[in-house]
Structure 1
Amino acid sequence: MKNIVYIIIGILFGIIMYKSEAASWFRIYEMFQFGSFHMYGLMGSAVLLGILGVQVIKKNNLKPLDDSDMSLEPKDKSVTRYLVGGIIFGLGWALAGVCPGPMYVLAGAGYVSVLIVILGALLGTLIYGVLRKKLPH
């Protein structure tokens, strides 16, 4: 039953991303050209909603559907970690024209060419998993 809840939430999230044009290459390009506030407004509202959601979870000690403890521990801060990770993420976003969340939305919307991007993302994740212990964290 709980898996169905996650699937329904994922489908609703995908529909919202598609309808709000968060998965649109044009909107992303427009954002990087500072041509429109649209994507900045979407991202800003998502960040604010995320902050509020985490605070509600912490204040009310909410638990996931499987009743396990919520793990909201802060990560170690490191300039190298965020700089290198941000550059890799940004280059991937610039080359593909899409970030990880909307990749699956576009695949679900029937854009078959995004499957190449998804394959590349999965390959990159695999490579990271293999090299993880040798990378600075």
Structure 2
Amino acid sequence: MHILIQFALGLLFGAGLILAGMADPAKVLNFLDVAAIGTTWDPSLMFVLGGAIAVTFLGYRHVLRRAAPVFGGQFHLPAPAAIDTRILIGPAIFGIGWGLVGLCPGPAFVALGAGNVQAVLFVAAMMAGMWVARLLSLRAARTPARA
């Protein structure tokens, strides 16, 4: 049952990305190109982002009132963390990649399902980047701290 629910929610998420235009790199790049305001800039994704923030806000309020998920188990919420180098560098790399290619992970997988060659390259590079980040993280954990 859990897998079926997860599959249905994944389909709903993917359909939302397609309907919003987030799986179209050209549309995303036209939104991110604020230098083109007044010409080719496309502000429509601002409404998508605003809607996502509203849904997330309401969802978190609902989750935090419950003792457990509706279908059992436990909630997996992010733990608060101190702002460190990783928290600054990770989003910077994410934003640079999004701005260069017009894809981020969710829409990339949707575009991958549609056979987009650019998405194939993006997902391969993303997986390689995740692998390198994991190796660096493991290496840093084994390195003794300097006094």
Normalised by the length of structure 1, the TM-score is 0.85
Q: Cα distance 1:70–1:111, how it changes in 2: closer, same or farther (>3 A)?
A: same
Shift of 1:73: 4.6
The answer for the alignment partner of 2:74 in structure 1 is 69
Residue matched to 1:84: 89
- 1:64: how far off? 5.9
* Superposition deviation, residue 40 in structure 1: 1.3
Tell me the residue number matched to 1:96. Answer: 101
**Equivalence map 1:16-95=2 (5 Å):** 16-34=16-34, 35-63=41-69, 65=71, 67-95=72-100
Mapped partners of 1:135, 1:8: distance in 2 = 38
- The CA RMSD measured in Å over matched residues stands at 2.0
Task: Choose which of 109, 113, 118 in structure 2 pairs with 1:113.
Answer: 118
Structure 2 gap segments, 5+ residues each: 35-40, 142-147
Q: Say which of 102, 105, 126 aligns to 2:131.
A: 126
Number of equivalences: 135
CA deviation profile, 1:4-32 (whole Å, cap 9, x unmatched): 22112111211221122111112211212
CA distance in 2, matches of 1:134, 1:92: 25
Question: Is the deviation greater in 121-130 or in 32-41?
Answer: 32-41
Structure-2-length-normalised TM-score:
0.80
Find the residue that maps to 1:113 and give its secondary structure: helix
Q: 1:93 to 1:73 in 2, by over 3 A?
A: closer
CA contact (8 A) 2:31 2:43 kept: yes
Q: Percent identity?
A: 24
Name the residue aligned to 1:3.
3
Larger Rg: 2
1:14–1:105 Cα contact (<8 Å) kept: yes
TM superposition shift of 1:47 = 1.2
Q: Secondary structure at the match of 1:76?
A: coil
Query: What stretches of structure 1 of length at least 5 have no aligned partner?
Result: none
